[in-house]
Chain A
């Protein structure tokens, strides 16, 4: 319980903070929380189960589109959440059954293939507005700040749910099973773990949280198109955040999201035209210098030797 005290303190801080923030910072913080939730979600399949779901953003897109389509047909926002999650979970199971049989490279790439194939299908789907995208009804509120605060809390609830889920996962038979699969899948199978079931379930949970975030995102931004909500770069950002904070930990994804989202946001506002260059350099440097995450780098005291050691381990 002790290790959850500091995060709990932060949560209280996050709850009382909004009235004191400007619209700009509230928006940035909302973005951080959004990414933190999606990174928690990808952590279930990629961190705990060790299956690099390179196309996880597909569930984000599905969630966003289900909400957008239903709201355009007169449904209220909350009513769209269940259909959105159900669609994404069903999709993950149907796709997962064949695709999760692949390992390593092949799984990563197949999930990326699923992502772009889905994007192209949506690009041709009349009901989804095809390539032009969809606009959603605007959220009405007393003031812009009230609307910002509303979405801030929606994302915060999603984050809390995903964190609670991960804490449950950490000490649960299911979570141990996933870690066993990551370390040695054949061994896990031999120990009596139903690996296909575990993997499919893990991906379904991951899809559930990602779709939830997608739904909120669609309502928040109020305009979506295939190119934005199925953008593979979102998946990659989730991966980098997971790496920075430390994979298969409860709070790592949040730390990673804070670091990367703040850096990219600051760079974005200052140097719009070279945003991608800086992001690319950050990604490459992260993989080369801190493949085990920031937490690992600072446990037991930081030293430059550690960075050199990280490189030496993986270089040829």
Chain B
């Protein structure tokens, strides 16, 4: 039984890792704590839901499309809104992103109502049985997709010119500027990437559980836990943090009851912040 719970936790953790990854990169590079992250995840879920409903395209197939739409939204949001106050005090930028969260949540209620939605795929509820253990298809595919996206993100940051310029801006903005990098655009691209990863995570979440605009807040806090566990801006750290959180949540839901899951997650969150604010893996990745 314990191994089955562990499997469920790890599979869920992959998606949590993806939720935290975009959040962590944005925080690490732009120092912006994006409280609207959860709403971007849910926005991704709704777009995926839309595509499924009207074009009957499987949520796993439509991920690139969802990511592209979220990238554009995220890019514009950072470029023309958040960049205008990016150097302000911490709590000012926090309030600003919270304002965006309130706005997005209400916008989604207007567009899709506050009803619970879910995407019912044909393979929902079916599982791969391997060695006597169950691997639900939706979770298994979600885990694989999250792993692939994490690897792609790491590759993008390490090997491409844009990725290099993102890292350069995070390390030393002045030097990056002197080398011909435009920090405003780079921030916007970084946020766009963060938003597109959020959108992808939303697609994966949409096939696993039902959602409505109100669940965004809880997702943002999970992104926090993951980012803090893994260390800011660290790609592999986020994935690991996600898996740790997934395991902890699945175990606490099983042993303490579903309603105590959040108590454990948020208490853990405060404890980690107080005791290990630099993350389990140690130092900040950038800068």
**Residues of A near any B CB (own CB < 8 A):** 46, 52, 54, 98-99, 101-102, 104-106, 108-110, 112-114, 116-117, 120-121, 123-124, 131, 232-233, 236, 239-240, 243, 273-277, 279-284, 286-288, 291, 311, 313-316
Contacts and interface: CB of A to CB of B under 8 A. Distances in A.
B267 A117 contact: yes
The SS class assigned to the A binding surface is helix
Given A108-B91, A114-B270, A284 B99 contact: yes
B87 A113 contact: no
Contact of B87 (A243, A273, A286, A316): A316
Contact of A113 (B81, B106, B266): B266
Nearest to A46: B91
Nearest to B182: A316
Contacts of B259: 123-124, 131
9 contacts: A52-B89, A98-B274, A102-B274, A108-B91, A124-B260, A124-B263, A279-B103, A313-B87, A314-B86
B88 interface: yes
B110 A110 contact: no
B128 interface: no
B102 A233 contact: yes
Contacts of B31: 105
B94 A54 contact: yes
Contacts of B84: 288, 311, 314-315
A291 B85 contact: yes
Contacts of B90: 52, 104-105, 108
A171 to B, nearest CB: 26
B26 to A, nearest CB: 13
A214 B260 CA distance: 25
Contacts of B89: 52, 291
B100 interface: yes
A53 to B, nearest CB: 9
B239 interface: no
Nearest to B86: A316
Contacts of A239: 91, 95
A287 B270 contact: no
B238 interface: no
B52 to A, nearest CB: 26
Given A46-B91, A108-B91, A280-B102, A316 B274 contact: no
B263 to A, nearest CB: 4
Nearest to B99: A283
B86 A315 contact: yes
Contact of A276 (B81, B88, B102, B273): B102
Nearest to A54: B94
A257 to B, nearest CB: 16
Contacts of A52: 89-91, 94
Nearest to B259: A124
A284 B102 CA distance: 10
- Most chain A CB inside 10 Å of its own CB: which residue of B102, B259, B260, B263: B102
Interface in B68-125: 81, 83-96, 98-107, 109-110
B163 interface: no
A316 B183 contact: yes
Contacts of A112: 221
Given A110-B270, A279-B99, A287-B85, A102 B110 contact: no
Contacts of A274: 106, 110
Nearest to A312: B84
Given A233-B102, A280-B99, A284-B96, A120 B262 contact: yes
A113 B270 contact: yes
Nearest to B263: A120
A54 B273 CA distance: 15
Contacts of B93: 287
A244 to B, nearest CB: 11
